[in-house]
Amino acid sequence: MTMTHATRLLAWYDRHRRTLPWRAPPGKRTAPYLVWLSEIMLQQTTVAAVGDYFHRFVKRWPTVEALAAAPLDDVLSAWAGLGYYARARNLHACARAVTEQHGGIFPSGEAELLALPGIGPYTAAAIRAIAFDEPASAVDGNVERVIARLYAIETPLPDAKAEINLRTAALVPQRRAGDYAQAMMDLGATVCTPRNPRCVICPLMAACEGRRRNIAEELPRRAPKADKPTRRGLAFVLSRKDGAVLLRKRPAKGLLGGMDEVPSSDWREGALLIPEALKQAPVPARWKVLQGGVRHTFTHFHLELAVAHAIATTSGLAKLAPGSAWCTIDQMTERALPSVMRKVIAHAAKG
């Protein structure tokens, strides 16, 4: 692909660029804070899912200093539903680092960006290109797909990443690097799609080796994924007569770190033994195991939770563990509740 092709892609972008909440108007640069915030939110999440969250975050915390000053619990609560909660913890830590170490100004250098919490090579390149117009090569899943098809790279991912990164870096123009990075993302998202790519309207159609060989839709190839294990547990929904539900906070580190949760037994592989699981109930109560349950998929495993429900009694309340707290229905939206726990509470409400 020559610079002529880069020019062709930019001309296509000028006509067909997507309008996105975090994208500056033509000829303008997006503020580094907005680029960073949107890119962290977009990791492993769709554009459609992110829009409302982005608007709420920017309205509530319009600057990186404002985000840094916010309590972590508030950030986790605002993030609830986006998933992959380590991103929210790193988001807050990064905001504090930028404020404390860089005076609230995002650095433009690759090494300085990579030293910040939660910023990896892709996010650093996206910030450098889009916010600072540096000729950085930002390679996300969309770009991997475009490049694999353009050069008919048949090596399966992840082994193909090294070649894709080299090919991509060689294409980045010295001028309009930010527009070029966003053009590649848009091309992959709207034209060079995973299924049924719209090759006939692609500005790179003539140069695409995958299309010439009639294998474009098969690329990029991927190594077979190992089957995810299934873990099982018993969730305990303890409610008061006013409808409030008992929650506890998870450890700061690890899966769903720092989030609120409904108490549950350990999550283990193998069959769920209800009598054993009931021994891990948060308080003595008349626990009723409900029909059905909740299934949720994390990055590395599936989770199946049976749900037990009980009404709190005066004797049980005296035995609440430290870190436990009641949450009323009105407060539920303000709590940092991951979606799996919202499913559990909804299942208990159906009885």
How far, in Å, CA of 270 to CA of 229, rounded?
9
**Is there a catalytic annotation at residue 217?**
no
24-33 long-range contacts, Cβ below 8 Å, gap at least 24? Answer: 29/130, 29/131, 29/132, 29/133, 29/178, 30/130, 30/131, 30/178, 31/131, 32/105, 32/106, 32/108, 32/127, 32/131, 32/132, 33/63, 33/64, 33/106
Local structure of residue 333 (DSSP, 8 states)? G
How far, in Å, CA of 161 to CA of 140, rounded?
11
Q: Two tokens at 88? A: 């929210």
Closest by CA position to 64, among listed 92, 27, 26, 101: 92
Exactly one of 39, 134, 144, 261 is catalytic; name it.
39
Whether residue 49 contacts residue 36, with contact meaning beta carbons closer than 8 Å, is answered with no
Whether residue 78 contacts residue 56, with contact meaning beta carbons closer than 8 Å, is answered with yes
Residue 256: strand, helix, or coil = coil
Local structure of residue 205 (DSSP, 8 states)? G
How far, in Å, CA of 66 to CA of 64, rounded?
5
Q: Which residues are catalytic?
A: 39
